[in-house]
């Protein structure tokens, strides 16, 4: 049976429940995923004066062939994008500036240091997102940045974040697509603090200064990202969920939820409906924690599907900005991008192919028996046939056939990258 025949057969199952399969595929095409560049080089960056990875971030593995410069990283991203259906975005960190061998301090970064990325994005019709890099730096060695008691160190990081917002504005204007500029800091203490309030007051004051800079919201969207704990900040994190949620609400900023930044028993999917009631937009960094914020490659698991269902069933497709954030150096880095991104898109398609309105009616009427029965039965509906058809129509490999492309590319680059 051909992919088209399997699609038509599967489509009939879904249409029995008045699900517009063709409409679902059109909607899916309109959802961009922001793919993080740092999977391609293990969060290394291109700084001339490179620092050891820090900030509670750990990348394990030494799979051969990681990108060593901008050209190689962009080539790898092109290979991954060719295997992922749809049109998407690329998410950059400040350490991916290209300074032609010159030492440029992070607080002195300018749009000119990212022109290669912008020209490449234009060529491939991609949007760009951005993040200031407040880790892996001599001024972050003690684990404090925007909440640091040293005024000079705080000022350095404030200037870096302001510079980053200007770079985000440049991206948005150059590409005619708003850039999400997200601030995450590693600040915290390994052991129990004697004062939690003062560091948080300093963080609030730093953010107030950063956001006081006039940046055009048509081109740059500001987000702030929380964390529960990290390596070296096990007992206290300054930028907690409560802190950033309150700050975002009060100052009209986006609250960004990283799926690895909460307690293992907390479900980010359960938080989305609440945030959508009080915020115009919400941002996500989708990762997969394994016992901690370990940033494993996203798989098609229960929580990923729940996140997608919350986005779809709450009509929030254009209100939730979806980005990815994982880094695994134990497997082929391009394959990691493809696996994780395709899974995020699969989850959204799965959610689009549910009888969400009918399920809502069942709940409202108290018919929990039929609600549970249908939710379980739809798990084995022929969703895969719809996904295969979508991939074929988007001219990317169907099922596991994309692995052949990665293997061929890997053979070619192994002769050049040792």
Residue 128 belongs to a domain: yes
Instruction: Collect the ranges in the chain with pLDDT lower than 50.
Output: none
Is 36 catalytic? The answer is no
CATH number at residue 164: 3.20.20.150
Is 388 catalytic? The answer is no
Residue 413 pLDDT? 79
Residue 418 pLDDT? 66
Residue 182 pLDDT? 98
Is 292 catalytic? The answer is no
**Pairing mode, if any, of strands 282-286 and 320-324?**
parallel
Query: How far is Cα 82 from Cα 416, in angstroms, rounded to an integer?
Result: 21
Q: Which of 42, 47, 76, 293 is the catalytic position?
A: 293
Residue 15 belongs to a domain: no
Q: Which of 295, 303, 310, 388 is the catalytic position?
A: 295
Q: Closest Cα partner for 75 from 414, 415, 409, 418?
A: 409
Residue 87 belongs to a domain: yes
Residue 185 belongs to a domain: yes
Q: Which of 325, 328, 388, 410 is the catalytic position?
A: 325
Global pTM reads 0.96
Q: Which of 42, 129, 225, 388 is the catalytic position?
A: 225
Is 302 catalytic? The answer is no
Q: Which of 38, 157, 184, 387 is the catalytic position?
A: 184
Is 357 catalytic? The answer is no
Number of domains in the chain: 1
Residue 206 pLDDT? 98
- Angle (deg, nearest 10), helices 3-15 and 383-393: 130
Is 258 catalytic? The answer is yes
Residue 366 belongs to a domain: no
Query: How far is Cα 113 from Cα 117, in angstroms, rounded to an integer?
Result: 9
Residue 357 belongs to a domain: no
Distance from CA of residue 393 to its chain's centroid? 25
Is 325 catalytic? The answer is yes
Residue 405 belongs to a domain: no
Q: Closest Cα partner for 107 from 10, 194, 210, 4?
A: 210
Residue 363 belongs to a domain: no
Residue 308 pLDDT? 98
Q: Which of 148, 227, 253, 346 is the catalytic position?
A: 227
Q: Which of 258, 328, 388, 410 is the catalytic position?
A: 258
Q: Which of 261, 303, 328, 410 is the catalytic position?
A: 261
Domain residues for the domain of 226 are: 20-352
Residue 51 pLDDT? 82
Query: How far is Cα 381 from Cα 369, in angstroms, rounded to an integer?
Result: 19
């Amino acid at each position: 049976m051909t992919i088209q025949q399997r699609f038509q057969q599967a489509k009939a199952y879904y249409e029995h429940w008045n699900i517009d399969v063709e409409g679902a595929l059109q909607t899916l095409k309109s959802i961009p995923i922001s793919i993080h560049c740092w999977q391609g080089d293990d969060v290394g960056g291109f700084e001339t004066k490179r620092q050891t990875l820090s900030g509670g971030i750990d990348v394990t593995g030494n799979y051969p062939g990681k990108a060593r410069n901008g050209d190689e990283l962009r080539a790898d991203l092109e290979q991954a994008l060719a295997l992922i259906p749809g049109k998407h975005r690329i998410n950059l960190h400040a350490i991916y500036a290209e300074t032609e061998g010159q030492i440029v301090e992070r607080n002195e970064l300018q749009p000119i240091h990212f022109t290669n990325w912008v020209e490449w994005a234009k060529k491939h019709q991609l949007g760009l997102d951005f993040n200031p890099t407040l880790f892996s730096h001599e001024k972050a060695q003690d684990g404090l940045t925007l909440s640091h008691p040293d005024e000079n160190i705080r000022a350095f990081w404030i200037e870096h974040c302001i510079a980053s917002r200007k770079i985000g504005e440049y991206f948005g204007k150059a590409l005619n697509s708003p850039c999400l500029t997200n601030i995450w800091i590693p600040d915290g203490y390994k052991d129990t603090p004697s004062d939690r309030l003062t560091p948080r007051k300093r963080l609030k004051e730093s953010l107030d200064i950063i956001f006081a800079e006039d940046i055009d919201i048509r081109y740059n969207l500001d987000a702030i990202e929380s964390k529960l704990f990290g390596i070296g900040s096990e007992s206290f994190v300054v930028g907690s969920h409560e802190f950033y949620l309150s700050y975002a609400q009060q100052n009209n900023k986006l609250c960004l939820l990283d799926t690895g930044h909460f307690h293992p028993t907390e479900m980010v999917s359960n938080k989305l409906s609440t945030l959508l009631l009080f915020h115009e937009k919400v941002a996500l960094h989708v990762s997969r924690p394994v016992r901690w914020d370990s940033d494993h490659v996203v798989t098609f698991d229960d929580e990923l599907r729940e996140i997608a269902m919350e986005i779809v069933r709450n009509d929030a497709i254009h209100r939730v900005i979806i980005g990815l954030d994982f880094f695994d150096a134990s497997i082929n880095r391009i394959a990691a991008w493809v696996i994780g991104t395709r899974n995020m898109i699969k989850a959204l398609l799965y959610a689009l192919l549910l009888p969400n309105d009918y399920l809502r009616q069942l709940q409202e009427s108290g018919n929990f028996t039929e609600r549970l029965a249908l939710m379980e039965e739809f798990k084995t509906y022929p969703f895969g046939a719809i996904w295969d058809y979508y991939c074929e129509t988007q001219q990317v490999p169907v099922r596991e056939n994309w692995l052949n492309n990665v293997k061929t590319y890997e053979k070619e680059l192994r002769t050049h990258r040792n």
